[in-house]
Amino acid sequence: MTGPLCLVRISVRVSGYDPWMELRGYMIEVKFDGQTLVAEGTNKASQIALRGEDRNLGPVQVPVSQIASVDFKNANAVTNGRILVHTIAGKRYQITFRRKDRDAFQGLYNELESARANA
């Protein structure tokens, strides 16, 4: 099997039952434990696409309490989809995914919105 994988794992954690999602999008790996979103580009170009104007490299960690808004654009046959995460500090992070992974990333978007509503 070759190409990017889309993985979703749900496990029981010590603090109770928390959804833990691990996703692989278009040159990006994303993890969400219900409290913190962690995203990292798999190469330099995707790291720059993830961070926008912020050129620091390495994983992005955004606590749900710091998320101001989340926007979702679905993927189709012509364009990739994306999740835009805007923080209260004014930073913007873009998570890109392909059409074949859209259901998993729709689930991530739903989890982020649910966590924001409960924060």
Split the chain (119 residues) into runs of 10 and give each run's mean pLDDT: 42 44 90 93 85 77 96 95 95 94 94 91
Separation between Cα atoms, residue 51 and residue 61, nearest integer Å = 11
Domain containing 89 — which CATH number?
A: 2.30.29.30
* pTM for this predicted structure: 0.79
Which are the contacts of 49, defined by CB distance < 8 A and separation ≥ 6? Answer: 27, 41, 94, 96
Q: How many domains does the chain fold into? A: 1
Range(s) of the domain holding residue 77: 11-118
Residue 80 lies in a domain: yes
